[in-house]
Amino acid sequence: MRKKIISMTMALVLGLSLTACGDSGSSNGGSSTTSGGSSSSDKQGSSDSSSGSSGADVANKDKPLVWFNRQPSNSSTGELDQTALNFNDKTYYVGFDANQGAELQGTMIKDYIEKNIDKIDRNGDGIIGYVLAIGDIGHNDSIARTRGVRKALGTAVKKDGDINSEPVGTNADGSASVVQDGELKIGGKKYIVRELASQEMKNSAGATWDAATAGNAIGTWSSSFGKDIDIVASNNDGMGMSMFNAWSKDQGVPTFGYDANSDAVAAIADGYGGTISQHADVQAYLTLRVLRNALDGVDIDTGIGTADDAGNVLSDDVYIYKEDERSYYALNVAVTADNYKDFTDSTKIYEPVSSQLDEGSHASKKVWLNIYNASDNFLSSTYQPLLQNYDDLLNLQVEYIGGDGQTESNITNRLGNPGQYDAFAINMVKTDNAASYTALLNQ
């Protein structure tokens, strides 16, 4: 009971501090809050011992585990870490289809150019110039998005049989070898497409996908070749919005991101070019659902491809499951001026899986879950709020741990007592680091 009061107090404090600093997410480091299941104040005061199992009768190494958002993989080669994905027979990964989404993002930008060809080339030199913000050069999703943009715009160069995804640095004169000048034929006329600049947005402390770094980069780029920039592209909306607010909104330069965060979707009305929804509403559900199913000891497809006892079910146009990768991937949707009004609230749960499970047959269980970077725009403003909506529906009492985005130990230090939990949901800082978590569960 005392613990409950403490965690409720912490939730309150966190809530207040969130209000105080606006919607930009909590500050770096040590945040933690519990919500969902029987810890929410609106449920009658069941004692700690009756709120589900203690987690003590099952060995930690045999408990359900889900990796999410950062797939265990080699950060240089992209090869999946099958050991981590097969930690036990209740281990899964939940993410989204990176290649399908990357293709969509590239096509969305190309379509925009074609439709707006009469005004896109701002200085009229026949070259359509773009700059690109790269999230994390060792993250498969980031790599896929860089490749998708380069492929669609014809600027891709192959390296070892695949599209080179390295940042170009600056390339205002088109002489770089990491990319090439592309060519688009529109209305019988030929245009050159050039990647003027790209860089990994990593801050000095090591945090990747860093929005502030992107805001600074567009300042530097625009002051030396601003008139050449016709399009701003970004591996995500956090960085995209930072560049939009710092420069491109005032200049009327279309800016494209990824994630369909609410602020980015709203900005489409002000000239943000578009974004991609990675169906976070489906991913957040799947993240907790696979744990729920494993805890219930039912078929893993329950409430996913097969309706559960409350009627929750997903149709196969919103996700795919690859058994050999133990991975669920949500499918992506392009969000542009044509349809953005359907995407204004990124934290709204997905209607086909919005029914409450019965607590009698799905007893409350405790889950340890971490967000690798409490300041990441997508994870803090879209993904975590969705998780917090679903945890109640699935009777999961989730302890949310917020990392600093830089050091794995900042998070693993707070997994000191895995015996207290029934299941684990992990979002690593670096995709190579799965073993630092599984080592703790193996002890």
Using CB under 6 A as the criterion, which residues of the chain lie in contact with ligand BGC when the complex forms? 69-70, 135, 141, 209, 236, 238, 258-259, 376, 378-379
- Nearer Cβ to ligand BGC (10/212): 212
As measured in angstroms, the least distance from the Cβ of 141 to ligand BGC is 5
As measured in angstroms, the least distance from the Cβ of 119 to ligand BGC is 29
As measured in angstroms, the least distance from the Cβ of 337 to Ca ion is 22
As measured in angstroms, the least distance from the Cβ of 284 to ligand BGC is 12
As measured in angstroms, the least distance from the Cβ of 88 to ligand BGC is 24
Partner residues linked to 343 by β-bridges: none
- Nearer Cβ to Ca ion (2/185): 185
Binding residues vs Ca ion (CB under 5 A): 121, 123, 125, 127
- Nearer Cβ to ligand BGC (248/277): 277
Q: Work out what residue 285 binds among ligand BGC, Ca ion, none; the CB cut-off runs from 5 to 8 Å by kind.
A: none
Q: Work out what residue 125 binds among ligand BGC, Ca ion, none; the CB cut-off runs from 5 to 8 Å by kind.
A: Ca ion
As measured in angstroms, the least distance from the Cβ of 231 to ligand BGC is 19
Q: Work out what residue 127 binds among Ca ion, ligand BGC, none; the CB cut-off runs from 5 to 8 Å by kind.
A: Ca ion
Q: Work out what residue 238 binds among ligand BGC, Ca ion, none; the CB cut-off runs from 5 to 8 Å by kind.
A: ligand BGC
- Nearer Cβ to ligand BGC (11/276): 276
As measured in angstroms, the least distance from the Cβ of 378 to ligand BGC is 3
Q: Work out what residue 121 binds among Ca ion, ligand BGC, none; the CB cut-off runs from 5 to 8 Å by kind.
A: Ca ion
As measured in angstroms, the least distance from the Cβ of 152 to Ca ion is 18
CB 99 within 8 A of CB 144: yes
- Nearer Cβ to ligand BGC (40/99): 99
- Nearer Cβ to ligand BGC (335/379): 379
Q: Work out what residue 26 binds among Ca ion, ligand BGC, none; the CB cut-off runs from 5 to 8 Å by kind.
A: none
Q: Work out what residue 308 binds among ligand BGC, Ca ion, none; the CB cut-off runs from 5 to 8 Å by kind.
A: none
- Nearer Cβ to Ca ion (14/127): 127
Q: Work out what residue 343 binds among Ca ion, ligand BGC, none; the CB cut-off runs from 5 to 8 Å by kind.
A: none
- Nearer Cβ to ligand BGC (239/357): 239
SS (H, E, C) the chain: CHHHHHHHHHHHHHHHHHHHCCCCCCCCCCEEEEECHHHCCCCCCCCHHHCCCCCCCCCHHHCCEEEECCCCECCCCCCECHHHHCCCCCEEEEEECHHHHHHHHHHHHHHHHHHCHHHHCCCCCCEEEEEEEECCCCCHHHHHHHHHHHHHHCCCCEECCEECCCCCEECCCCCCCCCCCEEEEECCEEEEEEEEEEEECCCCCCCCCCHHHHHHHHHHHHHHHHHHEEEEEECCHHHHHHHHHHHHHHHCCCEECCCCCHHHHHHHHHCEEEEEECCHHHHHHHHHHHHHHHHHCCCCCECCCECCCCCCCCCCCCEEEEHHHCEEEECCEEECCCCHHHHCCCCCCCHHHCCCCCCCCCCCEEEEEEECECCCHHHHHHHHHHHHHHHHHCCEEEEEEECECCCHHHHHCCCCCHHHCCEEEECCCCCCCHHHHHHHHHC
